[in-house]
């Protein structure tokens, strides 16, 4: 399959009439799969009402069929087509964070969306992306678009169009190249179907920000239960992993360097994931800084690109520093835990 690349400048006016956007939207309307930029990561988009289109998404990614997809919309009025109700808490969160990196779980109407897109659940995950190219594409095609991250299942999510092509070139109809994404980690997923809202996946909107709008918010126990059936993406299976095994290391940087030295003496090529503050301290085959520890938003934005860079370095084992498990750091640690398969070494 020939994979088209549509280059679109997100800063130009009248994007809905941009020939590249119109062409890509036509492919979506024909139930083809098209990767698109969002403010979080690149998504692999297909018509959420079409079994054919959704099947192509799963096939391209190699994604397990029991992992539901997020539905992307450009207009809140679209919700009435496939959602039974909009609870008050959901409405408040949409007012505060849409468009933006927040996915909300609703009870779905039967018979509208592809059952493949919702993994047969009675609920549906929906968000409105905060990216001008994505919104223009969604408005132009007029469809609810199912869009998981545009990578091979289990690998680091793509924050640049080149990442999509590295994984999926020849497997999908095209990529809309709208430049590098901003937030870097996927959206927060929150369930608003029953009483107090429940976070199913930490992401670009923090627990603290959510609670400032709707009061008390819970975190779902399934975040720690790998056997639970997922109600939202990113809750099951190893995700975001580089090619080499990744280990999180809790303790001082001297302890991490000791682990590196031991593996180097064993003849392994070793990588270290750190931040700008500690970049000069470590001695390994490949030391990569992932933003600034004093500004965790920079770590989130660079995390997946950094994980992918270890693949180019052909390292055989990677040790990563850990981060404060609060605010956006909660999302960073969630992704690192997934990438490492929960492998943690403590001093």
Was 72 annotated as part of a binding site? yes
Residue 170's closest CA among 37, 60, 6?
60
**pLDDT tens by residue, 151-200:** 998 889 999 999 999 999 999 999 999 999 989 899 999 999 999 999 99
Was 153 annotated as part of a binding site? no
Was 293 annotated as part of a binding site? no
Residues 6 or more apart from 208 whose CB is under 8 A from it? 327
Was 147 annotated as part of a binding site? yes
Was 63 annotated as part of a binding site? yes
Was 81 annotated as part of a binding site? no
Was 131 annotated as part of a binding site? no
Handedness of CA 98, 114, 163, 311 (dihedral sign): positive
Q: What percent of the chain has pLDDT over 70?
A: 95
Q: 317-321 and 246-250 as β-strands: parallel, antiparallel, unpaired? A: parallel
Angle between helices 132-141 and 19-29 (to 10 degrees): 50
Was 40 annotated as part of a binding site? yes
C-alpha angle 143/148/149, rounded to 5°?
Answer: 125
Q: Which domains does the chain have, with CATH numbers?
A: 4-223 (3.90.870.10), 246-346 (3.40.50.11030)
Note down pLDDT in tens along the chain; length 347 residues.
899 999 999 999 999 999 999 999 999 999 999 999 999 999 999 999 999 999 999 999 987 777 899 999 999 999 999 999 999 999 999 999 999 999 999 999 999 999 999 999 999 999 999 999 999 999 999 999 999 999 998 889 999 999 999 999 999 999 999 999 989 899 999 999 999 999 999 999 999 999 999 999 999 887 665 545 455 555 555 567 899 999 999 999 999 999 999 999 999 999 999 999 999 999 999 999 999 999 999 999 999 999 999 998 889 999 999 999 999 999 999 999 999 999 999 98
Was 289 annotated as part of a binding site? no
């Amino acid at each position: 399959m020939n994979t088209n690349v549509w280059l679109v400048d997100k800063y130009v006016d009248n994007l809905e009439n941009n020939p590249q956007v119109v062409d890509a939207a036509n492919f979506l309307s024909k139930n083809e799969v098209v990767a698109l930029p969002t403010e979080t990561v690149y998504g692999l988009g297909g018509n959420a009402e079409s079994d054919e289109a959704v099947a192509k998404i799963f096939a391209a990614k190699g994604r397990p069929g029991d992992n539901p997809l997020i539905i992307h919309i450009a207009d809140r009025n679209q919700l009435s087509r496939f959602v039974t109700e909009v609870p008050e808490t959901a409405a408040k969160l949409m007012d505060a964070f849409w468009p933006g990196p927040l996915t909300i779980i609703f009870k779905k109407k039967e018979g509208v969306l592809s059952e493949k897109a919702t993994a047969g659940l009675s609920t549906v995950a929906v968000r409105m992306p905060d990216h001008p190219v994505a919104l223009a594409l969604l408005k132009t095609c007029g469809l609810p678009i199912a869009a998981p991250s545009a990578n091979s299942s289990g690998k680091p999510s793509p924050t640049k169009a080149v990442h999509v092509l590295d994984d999926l070139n020849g497997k999908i109809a095209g990529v809309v190249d709208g430049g590098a994404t901003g937030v870097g980690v996927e959206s927060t997923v929150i369930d608003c179907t029953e009483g107090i809202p429940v976070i199913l996946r930490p992401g670009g909107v923090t627990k603290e920000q959510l609670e400032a709008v709707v009061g008390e918010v819970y975190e779902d126990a399934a975040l720690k239960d790998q056997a639970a059936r997922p109600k939202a993406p990113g809750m099951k299976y190893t995700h975001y992993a580089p090619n080499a095994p990744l280990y999180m290391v809790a303790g001082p940087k001297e302890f991490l360097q000791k682990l590196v030295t031991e593996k180097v003496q064993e003849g392994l090529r070793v990588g270290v994931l750190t931040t700008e503050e500690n970049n000069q301290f470590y001695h390994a085959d490949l030391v990569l800084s992932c933003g600034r520890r004093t500004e965790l938003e920079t770590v989130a934005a660079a995390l997946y690109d950094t994980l992918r860079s270890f693949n180019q370095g052909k390292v055989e084992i990677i040790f990563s520093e850990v981060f404060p498990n609060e605010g956006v750091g909660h999302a960073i640690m969630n992704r690192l835990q997934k990438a490492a398969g929960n492998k943690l070494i403590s001093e």
